[in-house]
């Protein structure tokens, strides 16, 4: 027979709106069983540093040995204090009525999140970006390997924006005045530009 309370508990644990476990850190005094002498204190100190992920430097070793000497002060053997994380399942002893209440809380929370998403869909807000290109470079125009020229094809440009969540809204072309290039008529020449507009929902 299916344990309904167990299934309900597992479902509630997947809901992030309810705290289902308590995490406590306790300190334990562990007896290594080794005779308390300089060699064994040094050995346990080095193991302590390695377990903690500390660098095996002289100053760290001095501190670790001091820690172990203090932990072993009233003992004939080497002792070391270690912290241990304990997790308690808060639903382990929960009654059916409590689980039912928590289920209702999870359902309300999920409905609120769904409403927030629907609000975004119903009245979306957008951000826009514009790229002005003076030349459309295709993948076939890629320079030979070893070229120092930075290369980005039109396809690479589109994929770069797409990877960040943008989509193309429009692509238009225009002729723009370019007063920097010398032409037969003087410093006034038109150049073709391609304008790409990207859209991103926020």
| pLDDT tens-place string over residues 22-72 | 888 888 888 988 999 999 999 989 988 888 888 888 888 899 899 889 988
Among 158, 141, 140, CA closest to 198: 158
Among 31, 30, 63, CA closest to 45: 63
| pLDDT tens-place string over residues 93-152 | 888 898 889 999 999 999 999 998 888 778 888 899 999 998 888 887 777 665 555 778
The count of other CB atoms within 10 Å of the CB of residue 100 is 12
SS3 call for 83: strand
Among 20, 23, 21, CA closest to 105: 20
């Amino acid at each position: 027979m299916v344990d309904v309370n167990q299934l309900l508990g597992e479902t509630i644990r997947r809901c992030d709106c309810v705290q289902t476990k308590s995490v406590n850190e306790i300190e334990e005094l562990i007896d290594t069983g080794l005779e308390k002498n300089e060699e064994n204190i040094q050995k346990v100190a080095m193991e302590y540093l390695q377990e903690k992920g500390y660098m095996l430097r002289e100053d760290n070793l001095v501190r670790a040995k001091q820690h172990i000497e203090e932990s072993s002060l009233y003992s004939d053997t080497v002792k070391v204090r270690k912290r241990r994380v304990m997790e308690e399942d808060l639903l382990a002893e929960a009654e059916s009525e409590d689980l039912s209440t928590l289920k209702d809380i999870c359902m309300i929370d999920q409905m609120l999140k769904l409403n927030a998403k629907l609000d975004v869909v119903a009245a979306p807000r957008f951000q826009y970006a514009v790229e002005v290109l003076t030349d459309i470079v295709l993948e076939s125009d890629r320079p030979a390997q070893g070229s120092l020229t930075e290369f980005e094809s039109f396809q690479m440009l589109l994929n770069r924006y797409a990877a960040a969540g943008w989509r193309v809204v429009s692509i238009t072309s225009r002729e723009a005045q370019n007063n920097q290039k010398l032409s037969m008529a003087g410093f006034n020449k038109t150049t073709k530009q391609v304008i790409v507009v990207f859209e991103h929902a926020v």
